[in-house]
Structure 1
Amino acid sequence: MITTDFADLTLDELRIALAPDIAASAIFDGWSQAALVAAAEMAGCDVDIARLAFPGAKPMDMIEAWITSVDSAMAAEWPAERLATSKIRERIRTLVAFRLHAVAHIDEAVRRALAVMAQPQNAPRALKLGWRSADIMWRLAGDTATDYNHYSKRAILAGIYSATLAVFVNDDSEGKADTHAFLDRRIDGVMRFEKAKAQLLNKDRELPSLTRFLGRLRYPAR
């Protein structure tokens, strides 16, 4: 069994190391000081050191560390080169499904986290975290867009993921089957939209330019 010397970790590393145990404790204690203490004891970390990593045991700080730990685990399990042989749709589905599987045993902690993130004072930070996770997923999926598609793709995926989590925490079906079906429908809908948008843009490129036509009438080629 590998043991961690928490005293040698940076504060950022310590937050990530403790985050999974905090999430597990949040099932019973919420995202609270009690969850932080329980996580430290579970991990074998000095409680004072844990408190140093999370001053005041602020719920959003602990939730952000947890989300970061899921982001890191996802990137480690599904690097871009491993996903490269799949279609874009499957790459995105695989990444979201990994995230759902990673929290399948702590759905009550997810429910409590969503409630905290929905509070008005936390909404801007929650949106930023959702955007960051969506950005990581798109980068792992091989997205290289630098135009407006860069932003629209991330906004859409963040919306899909947050909606899927809302279904997830209330899903009592076997193996969260209803959640995965919901995810598939949302991804299929987005793929159809993107296909239709691409076709429309291509048609626009093929249409003759009225301005160019009028210009030629006024200034005929010599």
Structure 2
Amino acid sequence: MLFCNKSNIAAVITAVLQQYNDIELNSNEWIESAYMPTPTIIEAAQALYRNHSVEDIARNDAKAVNLQQTAEAVNEIIEVSKQKHTKAICFITGVPGAGKTLAGLNIANERHNFAEEEHAVFLSGNKPLVDVLREALIRDESSRKNISKQEATKKVLPFIQMIHHFRDAEIMTQDPPNEKVVIFDEAQRAWTQEKLAEFMKRKKV
């Protein structure tokens, strides 16, 4: 594991390049390789909701391996928390396109277990994303199971929610939420306690 900041980042990059400069890259092999695009987040969400694995979705490339390892690590933490009756928080980081949202959807889908009262939920502050994912899952569920969109909606809505609506509902009660596993998408955009308190005061006026 490497650590760097603005003072030594150049030295770290140089050291890494010196360590791996003996690896020969075959440009022709890369150019002639098969085109295997990652599916859109909508296609991935539909596949996960049909209980496909991330290996099926990501076609067994490096991303699939990383996603599966991430899911296994988080699931292990969840199981330990359940056994010890404790709380845990996990952070999944990565560059844009690394698969953070897909990882969150995958974990939420795996833990969306009503029989064991886990009630996992995927929360996002990105309204267009929530709207599109919900509609895609509702249509897919309705079509595959030959049920009405209204019936499909009842199943999908608890799975993917707007974080603001989830927050507003929970601050109105002292009871703990039904959801035992909560996935926050793009948590880096979350407000501080002070900022949230200021917003809620303005909202009540």
How high is the TM-score relative to the length of structure 1? 0.27
More helix by percentage: 1
More strand by percentage: 2
How high is the TM-score relative to the length of structure 2? 0.29
